């Protein structure tokens, strides 16, 4: 009865020049399972996302999305297939309003990207849908503000809403709480749990903040210097000797 994994990565390697950033990484993500990828600075987490979403070509290895080999598929096609990612450094449309930010992916999703005679303002169904999506991240009251004028935490939420508007099957979140204050971080944790619990979408999170990781993830992968060091449930990772040495020592000592 086991369904095929939504994402399967096999023996993925990537170097920049002589510098090996990913070596022989293999992992599987099951549909509906909230997984996290952790690792110290420069471990290769963002590069892993860049390779999976087609920004960089891997030197070796393959990536299967819903069982289909997606190596070499262009990024915008992966997006239409339902493979989405958010960015560690906020990557939105700054001079557009919050609503317009969300309308952009929606018109693409509804195949209206090249429709150019009917004004977007005369299509209220689109705006309603956009506001509904903004409601899911709690930005519905700020829809008419220019994105760049919002507070940092709210701009991070636009980043998430942009992803949701594409009706993703799998979302790779790259440090969603990066740079947030504790209150904003708590809000984000709640949001991720809620989204992952309620929707059809599978979430995969890269995080630095161990509090976030251990409170949301069902399964954790540990990356260290480009190699997959360990994988398992939060309990298994906590008690893993190798992980303790390489990475978690500080965090667990501080706690314990």
Ligand X SMILES: Nc1ncnc2c1ncn2[C@@H]1O[C@H](COP(=O)(O)OP(=O)(O)OP(=O)(O)O)[C@@H](O)[C@H]1O
Specify the stretch interacting with Mg ion by CB under 5 A; choose among 82-90, 99-107, 109-117, 195-203.
82-90
Nearer to ligand X, 48 or 143 (CB): 48
Pick one of 2, 116, 253, 254: the residue that binds other proteins (CB under 8 A): 116
Query: What residues from 93 to 112 belong to the interface with other proteins (CB under 8 A)?
Result: 93-96, 100-101, 103-105, 107-109, 112
Q: Is 226 in the site for other proteins (CB under 8 A)?
A: no
- Count interface residues toward ligand X (CB under 6 A): 12
CB of 96 to ligand X, least distance (A): 27
Nearer to other proteins, 146 or 252 (CB): 146
**Cβ atoms of residues 236 and 67 within 8 Å:** no
Q: Is 115 in the site for other proteins (CB under 8 A)?
A: yes
**Cβ atoms of residues 112 and 136 within 8 Å:** no
CB of 217 to ligand X, least distance (A): 16
Token pair 């929707």 in the structure block, residue = 199
Q: Is 46 in the site for Mg ion (CB under 5 A)?
A: yes
Q: Is 251 in the site for other proteins (CB under 8 A)?
A: no
Which token pair is 164?
């949701």
CB of 150 to other proteins, least distance (A): 15
Q: Is 157 in the site for other proteins (CB under 8 A)?
A: no
Q: Which does 80 bind (CB under 5 to 8 A by kind): ligand X, other proteins, Mg ion, none?
A: other proteins
Contact string (CB under 6 A) for ligand X, positions 42-61, x = contact: xxxxxx--------------
Q: Is 86 in the site for Mg ion (CB under 5 A)?
A: no
Query: What residues from 88 to 107 belong to the interface with Mg ion (CB under 5 A)?
Result: 88
Pick one of 45, 85, 136, 187: the residue that binds other proteins (CB under 8 A): 85
Packing angle, helices 124-137 and 98-109, rounded to 10: 110
3-state helix/strand/coil string of the chain: CCCCCCEEEEEEEEEECCEEEEEEEEEEECCCCCEEEECCCCCCHHHHHHHHCCCCCCCEEEEEECCEECCCCCHHHHHHHCEEECCCCCCCCCCCEHHHHHHHHHHHHCCCCCCCCCCHHHCHHHHHHHHHHHHHHCCHHHCCCEHHHCCHHHHHHHHHHHHHCCCCCEEEEECCCCCCCHHHHHHHHHHHHHHHHHCCCEEEEECCCHHHHHHHCCEEEEEECCEEEEEECHHHHHCCHHHHHHHHHHHHHHHC
Q: Is 250 in the site for ligand X (CB under 6 A)?
A: no
How many other C-beta atoms are found inside a 10 Å radius of the C-beta of residue 57?
Answer: 10
Q: Is 53 in the site for Mg ion (CB under 5 A)?
A: no
| Binding residues for ligand X (CB under 6 A) | 16, 21, 39, 41-47, 88, 208
| Binding residues for Mg ion (CB under 5 A) | 45-46, 88
């Amino acid at each position: 009865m086991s369904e095929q994994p939504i994402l399967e990565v096999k023996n993925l390697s990537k170097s920049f020049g002589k510098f090996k950033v990913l070596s022989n990484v293999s992992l599987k993500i099951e549909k509906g399972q909230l997984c996290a990828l952790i690792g110290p600075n420069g471990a290769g987490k963002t590069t892993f996302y860049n390779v999976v979403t087609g920004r960089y070509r891997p030197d070796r290895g393959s990536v299967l999305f819903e069982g289909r080999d997606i190596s070499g598929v262009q990024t915008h096609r992966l997006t239409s297939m339902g493979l989405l990612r958010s960015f560690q450094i906020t990557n939105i449309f700054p001079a557009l309003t919050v609503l317009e930010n969300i309308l952009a992916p929606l018109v693409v999703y509804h195949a209206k990207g090249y429709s150019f005679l009917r004004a977007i303002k005369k299509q209220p169904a689109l705006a309603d849908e956009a506001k509904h999506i903004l409601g899911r991240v709690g930005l519905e009251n700020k829809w008419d503000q220019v994105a760049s004028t919002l507070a940092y935490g709210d701009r991070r939420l636009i980043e998430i809403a942009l992803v949701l508007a594409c009706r993703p099957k799998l979302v790779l979140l790259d440090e969603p709480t990066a740079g947030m204050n504790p209150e904003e971080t708590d809000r984000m944790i709640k949001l991720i749990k809620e989204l992952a619990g309620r929707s059809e979408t599978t979430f995969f999170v890269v995080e630095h903040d161990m509090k976030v990781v251990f409170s949301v993830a069902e399964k954790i992968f540990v990356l260290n210097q480009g190699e997959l060091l360990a994988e398992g449930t939060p309990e298994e990772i906590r008690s893993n000797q190798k992980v303790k040495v390489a990475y978690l020592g500080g965090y667990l000592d501080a706690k314990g």
